[in-house]
């Protein structure tokens, strides 16, 4: 698995979803129960800032910043992250005083970006599945980093999907996401 390629593909998918953000839509509900679209985009931007810091300096600060136009800012930050990866990232980063291989940080960032891109699309009423090949590569990463202790805090409980479910559906189900923002005829979990 090439974590840089995963990151690029996750950013491409999410950039396509962020185009659905319209002026006046920032108060819309998202699949992330505690966040409206503005809060979700601020979280995504904070994640991109952390990735950028990790790729360029080896340290990640723990202080988020807010922005007046989070959708536009996401685009700029996404380009900066891609540029930092292309320039050759550091080998490891320090998060909370602990070293982490930059490839692990990048792979986890790819999961975060793609899944929240799906959340953005749902909130904008423009659902689009996470590409199957991308989701198939992100699911093992998610399974490695999401622990039972994260359930109920950062993620809902996982739920079952049909054995024939698409990789994106399996990824979303593992992370406790249900396609509750679309009608049953368009459900992501349809067989």
Q: Is the pLDDT of residue 115 over 80?
A: yes
**Joined tokens for residue 165:** 């479910």
Residue 186: predicted pLDDT: 37
pLDDT category at 44 given cuts 50, 70, 90 is very high
Residue 154: predicted pLDDT: 74
Helical axes 3-18 vs 132-145, angle rounded to 10°: 110
Alpha helices in the chain (DSSP H): 3-18, 37-57, 70-86, 102-123, 132-145, 167-174
d(CA 76, CA 45): 10
Q: Is the pLDDT of residue 178 over 80?
A: no
Give the mean pLDDT of 4-18: 94
Position of tokens 């909130």? 123
| 88 φ/ψ sector (left φ>0, alpha ψ -120 to 50, else beta) | left
**Joined tokens for residue 147:** 């622990």
| Cα atoms in the Cβ-side hemisphere of radius 13 Å centred on 79 | 5
Q: Which residues pair with 151 in a beta bridge?
A: 155
Q: What Rg do the C-alpha atoms of the chain give, in angstroms?
A: 16
**Joined tokens for residue 141:** 């990463």
Q: Which residue has the higher pLDDT, 18 or 92?
A: 18
How many of the other CB atoms lie within 10 Å of CB of 25? Answer: 15
């Amino acid at each position: 698995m090439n974590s840089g390629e995963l990151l690029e593909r996750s950013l491409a998918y999410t950039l396509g979803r962020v185009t659905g953000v319209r002026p006046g839509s920032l108060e819309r509900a998202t699949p992330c129960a505690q966040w409206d679209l503005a809060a979700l985009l601020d979280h995504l931007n904070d994640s991109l800032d952390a990735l950028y810091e990790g790729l360029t300096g080896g340290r990640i600060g723990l202080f988020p910043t807010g922005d007046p136009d989070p959708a536009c800012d996401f685009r700029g930050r996404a380009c900066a992250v891609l540029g930092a990866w292309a320039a050759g990232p550091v080998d490891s980063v320090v998060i909370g005083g602990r070293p982490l291989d930059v490839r692990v940080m990048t792979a986890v960032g790819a999961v975060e970006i793609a899944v929240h891109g799906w959340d953005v699309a749902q909130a904008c009423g423009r659902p689009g599945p996470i590409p199957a090949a991308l989701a198939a590569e992100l699911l093992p990463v998610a399974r490695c980093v999401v622990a039972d202790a994260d359930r109920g805090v950062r993620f809902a409980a996982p739920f079952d999907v049909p054995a024939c479910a698409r990789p994106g559906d399996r990824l979303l189900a593992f992370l406790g996401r249900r396609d509750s923002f679309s009608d049953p005829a368009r459900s992501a979990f349809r067989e």
